[in-house]
Each structure stands twice: as C-alpha cells, then as structure tokens.
Structure 1
Amino acid sequence: MIGRLSAVVLDCPDPAALAAFYAELVGGTVEADDGTWVDLDRADGQKLSFQLAPAHRAPVWPDPERPQQFHLDIAVQRAEMDDAEKQVLALGATLLEGDLDGTRNWRVYADPAGHPFCLCAC
C-alpha cells in the first residue's frame, strides 16, 4: 500500500451549499475555509470535500459527451427508499432515473451541482 484515501473531492460552483446538501444526506460536520474549499468530516473517518470550480460543467445523465466520471452510492433500507427519495428531492436533488418500477435496487439522482449519486436498497 502506498497511501490511504483521505477524501473524495467534488468540484462545484458553491462548495458551502453542496457540503450542506451532503451533510443532510449522509451526516457529518461542515468545516469551511475561505470559501474555495469545504470539508465534510464524518465520524466514521470518511471525508467528502468540495472545491470551488467557477466554470464547473455538470455531467449529463447518461451522455458520453459529458460523462458522470464517478458517482456515490448511498445505502438506504429498502423499506425507506420512498421516504429517502422525498428527502433528497426536498434538499435540491433531481431524479435522473428511477428504479424501473421496483425491478432494480437503485435510483439515480443529481445533487444540486449536477453530480450523480444513487440511493441503493440494502
């Protein structure tokens, strides 16, 4: 092993706002500096960071011309999927692709900056 993963960093036009969105989604404490970089510190040691990118161009789902490049999978109890969807939509997420009438175990969303993430039934 050469090192350990210290953070996943998302480029975005408003780091504080996107950190607040993910704090509501997965928990954690928002730590901001001068507004160009914001960390979301989590008790389990996982860290999400948000970096100012004024010219950020959100990926388009699914479009190879502007691919997702990565996405986050958020585990949710199967019985709580509908409620979790209501909550992420209320926070500003956008539904990109549903679970095909329950035939698959995930739903795809975009966060407020356009990054895709999935709610995955567990």
Structure 2
Amino acid sequence: MAYAKLGAVVLDCPDPRALAGFYAEVVGGTVETDPGGSDWVDLKVPGGQTLAFQAAPGHVPPKWPAPDHPQQFHLDLEVADLDAAEKRVLALGATPLDTADRSRTWRVYADPSGHPFCLCAC
C-alpha cells in the first residue's frame, strides 16, 4: 500500500512567476503566488497535477540531447493539433529542440527557462 501522495511536480527556474505564466498559457489553470515571497509559485491545473516553480539562483538549464548528461526529466503535454500547439508555444517563448521530423506524433521544445517538454498528439 502506498504511504505517500504526489503533491506537486516542481521545476527549478530563475523566475517562478514568469515560468508559471508560460505554463498557465499552455495548459490552463490558476497561478498562485506564495504570500511570503516570490520564491515559490503554484500552477493549479483543474483536474490535473499541480505544477510548482521554485526560484533557483544560478539555474543552469538541462541540455537536450546530451548523451553524456541525460535530460533526467521532461513534461509530455497532450495536444489535439501539433501544428497549432507548436505555433502557440513558440509565440509564448518556447524554443524548438527536435521538431524536424513532421511525421512523428511528438515534438520536443524547451520552455523559457530551458526545461525540455514534448507536445504529443498520441
């Protein structure tokens, strides 16, 4: 029997409020800031998992692809239309990482803080 419950998925970043705003535009939800300061921001996604963003001074984004240092973590975001979703995330500040093969059902991007994520029409 499980003895713990997943509370949130937390992404370290240089600007928690800005990164929470990026993901709020992509997946929806409500951005909630910590009343004690701006080092922690929650994104409450209706019917989904909470994403949290924590200030990390000196944040260095992961490298993708990097066979000698794997990305370790990424988000898969399900979308109905890859092309439309791609246009939207690029307009919001995402960077394409692996989008050349347009026949695949997924494409890889980096969010504005450099975390890899995939748009998936799977």
Instruction: Please say whether Structure 1 and Structure 2 have the same fold, judged by a TM-score greater than 0.5.
Output: yes
TM-superposition CA deviations, 1:77-107 (whole Å, max 9, x none): 1xx11110000000000000015131x2100
Aligned-pair Cα RMSD in Å: 1.2
Distance 2:3 2:111 in 1: 32
Amino acid of the residue matched to residue 110 of structure 2? A
TM-score by length of 2: 0.92
Instruction: Give the corresponding residue for 2:114.
Output: 114
Q: CA deviation at 1:66?
A: 4.4
Distance 2:29 2:102 in 1: 32
Distance 1:43 1:36 in 2: 23
Aligned length: 119
Aligned counterpart for 1:35 among listed residues 38, 54, 57: 38
Distance 2:9 2:25 in 1: 17
Instruction: Give the corresponding residue for 1:23.
Output: 24
Instruction: Give the corresponding residue for 1:49.
Output: 52
Instruction: Give the corresponding residue for 1:97.
Output: 98
Q: Which runs of 5+ in 2 are unaligned?
A: none
Q: Which runs of 5+ in 1 are unaligned?
A: none
Distance 1:83 1:120 in 2: 12
Instruction: Give the corresponding residue for 2:12.
Output: 11
Q: CA deviation at 1:65?
A: 4.5
User: Percent identity, aligned pairs only?
Assistant: 65
TM-score by length of 1: 0.92
TM-superposition CA deviations, 1:39-72 (whole Å, max 9, x none): 0012114100000001110011101454311000
